[in-house]
Amino acid sequence: MKLASRMSRIESESAFEVLVRARELEAAGRDIIHLEIGEPDFATPRHIIEAAKQALDDGWTKYGPPQGLPALREAIAAGVSRTRGIQVGPEHVCVVPGGKPMIFFPMLALLEPGDEVIYPNPGFPTYESMIRFIDATPTPVPLVEERGFSFDLDAFARKLSDRTKLVILNSPQNPTGGVIPADDVRAIADMLRERDVIVLSDEIYSRIWFGEPPLSIASLPGMLEKTIILDGFSKTYSMTGWRLGYGVMPRWLVEAVNKLMVNSNSCTSSFTQRAGIAALTGPQDDVSAMVCEFRRRRDAFCEALNRVPGFRCRLPEGAFYAFANITGTGLKSKPLAGALLEEAGVAALGGTAFGEYGEGYLRFSMANSYENLMRAAQRIGEFMRLNCR
Ligand code: PLP
């Protein structure tokens, strides 16, 4: 028996592969500092956990509506309207198990084989994997370090064609930590407004930024009716394992996503959704404290990386990744990431795990303690001083 040919077009995620190797080394007695996985190292806030326990006791253990519980959709619509300066209602919201389904479902609903999808490179690997799986045509647009890891807008304009059906934006960005400047978002909206395209605006890091707040393209004139906002609870509330995310989209797309939900998941877990209401409507102090701590780690870790021979690291403006330029080492990304893991005990990802334009970079997730990040920078420094040409 052979697998379907489409399975040759779907990739795994390198972060999980590196984690497996790191765990093997740990099992053999090695001390590894984990900077590979994009998962906040904070506990889920207490009041959210209590709300989930209460929901279980209250019997929220059954199927719910495929689109999501009305009370959660109300809370999401109110929150998204307030934070993005737009007007959306619960009828525009689909609750799904995590952010990832909101990448897959719209693609399944919209794309025919051969349709072109523009997306950032380096970028979250699921974008390209899913585009290929569906047999659409990947059209990567490079992000440019000198532009704060925003797009090369000329390249963006050149890649747009009559076959472009979907454009993926991600800000704040994984893996670069870049935030697309407001002027660039406006320029992109100007390029797309008159076209028959949908924008998937991946705003999963919407609450984690350190400078200028990210601008959602949905808030610009004429863009709300052609934008899907993807957001969720994984990063903001340290809820990666709860699997709770959502999309906000035009009504005609809601129907399509609902059908995909009915046939794949039936619904998102009901008690998890009750916890989601507590997350959105309860105190936000834990979120502020987490962002503060990420800022402290970012400042110290990037400064330390900038002292490593051959490394150069811009201060990320959002998310919790340091995307260090390693071209000064004369080494390629993947072998250097491998050597750092095997020889220095620091697990990081080569930039090419996020696409070809990630060559020359390493991604470090700062979802580890301040002390461990400083230890990691020291190990990397020692390794490079011994091995740099
Ligand atoms: N989008 C981006 C840019 C991400 O980095 C991630 C997770 O790492 C997701 C979406 C998926 O989030 P979730 O874990 O909620 O599925």
Q: Which CATH number covers residue 35?
A: 3.90.1150.10
Kindly give the distance from the C-alpha atom of residue 16 to the centroid of ligand 1, in angstroms, as a whole number.
Answer: 13
- Using one digit for the tens of pLDDT, what is the confidence trace for 230-253? 999 999 999 999 999 999 999 999
What is the reported pLDDT for 389? 57
**Domain boundary, last residue among 281, 313, 342:** 281
Query: How many angstroms is it from 361 CA to the middle of ligand 1?
Result: 20
Closest atom of ligand 1 relative to the 243 alpha carbon: 15
CA 102 to ligand 1 center in whole angstroms: 10
Give pLDDT, residue 129: 96
Residue percentage of the chain with pLDDT more than 70: 100
**What pLDDT does 250 receive?**
98
Q: Residue 11: what pLDDT?
A: 85
- State how far the Cα of 125 lies from the Cα of 21, in Å rounded to an integer: 19
* Mean pLDDT within 377-386: 96
In this prediction the pTM is: 0.97
Answer whether residue 357 shows pLDDT above 60.
yes
231 pairs with which residues across the strands?
A: 246
Summarize the confidence of residues 11-24 as an average pLDDT.
89
Q: Which of 71, 63, 91, 75 is nearest to 269 (CA)?
A: 63
The strand pairing partners of 143, in sequence order, are: 151
- Report which of 173, 209, 201 is spatially closest to residue 361, judged by C-alpha positions: 173
The predicted pLDDT at position 260 comes to 98
How does pLDDT run across 182-197, given as a tens digit for each residue? 999 999 999 999 999 9
- How much distance in Å is there from the Cα of 384 to the middle of ligand 1? 31
Q: Are 376 and 33 in contact (CB under 8 A)?
A: yes
pLDDT at 326: 97
Q: How far is the CA of 321 from the centre of ligand 1 (A)?
A: 13
In the reported structure, the alpha carbon of residue 143 is separated from the centroid of ligand 1 by a whole-number distance in angstroms of: 19
Domain endpoint, select from 256, 281, 306: 281
CB crowding 209-226: b at 16 or more within 10 Å, else e: bbeeebbbbbbbeebbeb
CA distances for 336 relative to 18, 80, 149, 372, 389, angstroms: 13, 41, 22, 20, 13
Q: What is the CATH number of the domain that holds 100?
A: 3.40.640.10
Q: Give the pLDDT confidence of 33-69 residue by residue, as tens digits.
A: 999 998 889 999 999 999 999 999 999 999 999 999 9
Contact predicate 179/211, CB 8 Å: yes
On average, the pLDDT of the chain sits at 97
Domain end point (choices 239, 266, 281): 281
69 and 188 together in one domain: yes
Mutate to test the pocket of ligand 1, among 204, 206, 365 (most ligand atoms within 8 A of CB): 204
The answer to whether residues 149 and 259 belong to one domain is yes
Same domain for 109 and 250, yes or no, is: yes
Q: Is 377 a residue whose pLDDT tops 90?
A: yes
Residue 278 has pLDDT above 90, yes or no: yes
360 shares a domain with 314:
yes
Same domain, 53 and 11: no
Question: How many domains are contained in the chain?
Answer: 2
**Ligand 1: residue whose CA is nearest its atom 12:** 99
Examine the domain organization and report whether 361 and 233 are in the same domain. Answer: no
Task: Work out which ligand 1 atom sits closest to the CA atom of 123.
Answer: 3
Looking at the chain, how many residues does it have?
389
DSSP secondary structure, 162-218, as one string? TTEEEEEEESS-TTT-----HHHHHHHHHHHTTSS-EEEEE-TTTT-BSSSPPPPGG
| pLDDT for the residue numbered 337 | 97
* Among 234, 240, 243, 354, residue to substitute to test ligand 1 (most atoms within 8 Å of Cβ): 234
Spatial distance between the Cα atoms of 284 and 175, rounded to a whole number of angstroms: 25
Predicted pLDDT at 143: 97
- Give mean pLDDT, residues 346-356: 96
Q: pLDDT band for position 171 (50/70/90)?
A: very high
Residues 229 and 311 in one domain: no
Which 3 state secondary structure label does DSSP give 33?
Answer: strand
- Same domain for 277 and 147, yes or no, is yes
253 lies in the same domain as 313 = no
* Average pLDDT rounded to a whole number, residues 287-304: 98
**Is the domain of 58 the same as that of 179?**
yes
Please tell me whether residues 156 and 250 are part of one structural domain.
yes
Provide the pLDDT for residue 388. 72
Tokens of 337: 């990431």
Look up the domain containing 243 and give its range.
47-281
CA distance 354 to 364: 13
187-208 average pLDDT score: 98
Which of 100, 243, 265 to probe ligand 1 with, by most ligand atoms within 8 A of CB? Answer: 100
CA 98 – ligand 1 centroid, Å: 8
pLDDT value of position 30: 96
Q: What's the pLDDT at 15?
A: 84
| Domain co-membership, 250 together with 378 | no
From 161, 67, 53, select the one nearest 116 (Cα to Cα).
161
| Per-residue pLDDT at 17 | 87
Residues 123-155: tens digit of each pLDDT? 999 999 999 999 999 999 999 999 999 999 999
Starting at the edge strand that comes first in sequence, how are the strands of the sheet with 321-325 ordered? Answer: 312-313, 321-325, 361-365, 349-350
Other beta carbons less than 10 A from residue 285's beta carbon = 9
Distance 342 CA to ligand 1 centre (A): 27
Pocket of ligand 1 (CB under 6 A): 38, 98-100, 124, 170, 174, 202, 204, 232, 234, 240, 245
Do the beta carbons of residue 340 and residue 380 sit within 8 Å?
A: yes
